[in-house]
Amino acid sequence: MPRSSYPCDRRHLSGVPGGPYHWGMSTWRIGALLVVGALACNLDVGGTTFVPPPPPAPPALQLVAQGLTSPLYLTAPPGDTTRQFIVQQDGRIRVVRNDTLLTTPFLDIRTLVTYGGERGLLGLAFHPNYKVNGWFYVYYTDLGGNIRILRLTVSAGDPNVADPTTGDTVLAVAHSTYNNHNGGMVVFGPDGYLYTGLGDGGGGGDPLGNGQNKHALLGKILRLDVDHGSPYTIPGTNPFVGDTSARAEIWDYGLRNPWRFSFDRSNGYLYIADVGQDLYEEVDVEPTGGVGRVNYGWNVMEGMHCYNATTCNTAGLTLPVLEYTHTNGQCAIIGGYVYRGKRVPALAGMYLYADLCVGWVHSFEYVFGRVGNQLDWSTQLFTGTNVSSFGEDGRGELYIINLGGNVYRMVPGT
């Protein structure tokens, strides 16, 4: 059998800059790519030449909708592969059906919403059994500036229009001292419970002390059972059930403003992008099977660093898996998703995130408890500054939302 001459260099074995020894690349990916790389060298076995498959196409952007009013989020009902629902900060939810933006809003609650700055209609989640019960949940700041989660129902006659008279308050939290750090994410976890992220109540440095105050709901991720009892009950497995030192709704605490967080469709890991103060932005990862009760450190820590050195006791704190600094105009992290779609294999398994002020899009893989394979997709996925959110549709495909009014889908490039 003739020997291979291996004429190609090691960069050919990885498909990413730096080759298979690119720092931080996960072990499983190295192994797989070494095998592919061997074939890439046109190994001649028994007269047959193995020609490598072409590398996956890099991602690109496809404009899905434009002319929206401060869009902040995109999602879809479970199993719905033809529609995307876009949250507008002004209090309306718009529908894109088969890539056409419908004229009539799905929901219009502008008369209930305080809109401006960091306030407005901020989040949307469809119940896992939406196809049967028609329930969905919105997160907004009400006319008093307080946080409110409302459950509504789709109309009986038109699946593209909700019934605004069905509104039932699930949660109301006072938030009127400052107008920022309102949180805004609401999503059902793999366990069927409703998770929501509340900011620390605003002001620089958490002046109200909510991040570390377990008697307060601000500065927390909450976990609620909305299927048993009205407006909700506490899941029996919540970490502070029976603990008089904390509110039983709390799942995790020590957060500043978890504007966007998400669960990995594949393994259920929770990725939290917590917006920082003046110096550091962070991503936290909580593996499946955790029991909550995680203290992510704010306002003792900002990122991996002591925020107040005179009172910095790090015992019991969980540090982020990734941070970046406020250099070159960077200012606020916009959390995304781990890509589990089918259209863009180049992004498979990567967590994507962005920065509000500079508009870049980066990704990393979290494997075996560590971050690796950090990549910059800014050239391929740049939408300008003011990236407000990512979105995920019913197929697991990802979108980027720009506050200026445009929504883009990630597609294969050329």
Does pLDDT of 16 surpass 60?
no
Residues above pLDDT 90, as percent of the chain: 84
Residue 233 C-alpha from the chain's centroid: 25
Find, among 132, 168, 163, the residue nearest to 150 by Cα.
Answer: 168
Mean pLDDT of 217-241: 97
Q: What is the pLDDT of residues 146-170, one digit of tens each?
A: 999 999 999 999 999 999 999 999 9
**Which pLDDT value is given to residue 372?**
97
Distance from C-alpha of 219 to C-alpha of 187, rounded to nearest angstrom:
17
> What is the value of pTM for the model shown?
0.89
Tokens 């730096």 correspond to what residue?
Answer: 18
Q: How confident is the model at residue 80 (pLDDT cuts 50, 70, 90)?
A: very high
**Which pLDDT value is given to residue 39?**
41
Query: Residues 386, 408: contact at Cβ < 8 Å?
Result: no
Q: Which CATH architecture has domain 59-412?
A: 6 Propeller (2.120)
Does pLDDT of 24 surpass 60?
no
Residues in the chain: 414
Residue 163 C-alpha from the chain's centroid: 28
Strand duo 162-173 + 301-302: pairing? unpaired
Residue 192 C-alpha from the chain's centroid: 18
Q: Taking the CB of residue 372, how many other CB atoms lie within 10 A of it? A: 17
Tokens 């020997």 correspond to what residue?
Answer: 3
**Which pLDDT value is given to residue 5?**
35
Q: What is the residue extent of each domain of the chain?
A: 10-49, 59-412
Distance from C-alpha of 190 to C-alpha of 57, rounded to nearest angstrom:
31
In degrees, to the nearest 5, what angle opens at C-alpha 100 toward C-alphas 94 and 101?
25
Distance from C-alpha of 246 to C-alpha of 240, rounded to nearest angstrom:
6
Find, among 101, 56, 132, 80, the residue nearest to 395 by Cα.
Answer: 80
Find, among 2, 29, 7, the residue nearest to 18 by Cα.
Answer: 29
Mean pLDDT of 362-378: 97
Distance from C-alpha of 208 to C-alpha of 299, rounded to nearest angstrom:
11
Residue 211 C-alpha from the chain's centroid: 20
Q: What is the pLDDT of residues 300-313, one digit of tens each?
A: 999 999 998 777 99
Give backbone dihedrals phi and psi of 31, rounded to 5 degrees, phi first: -60, -45
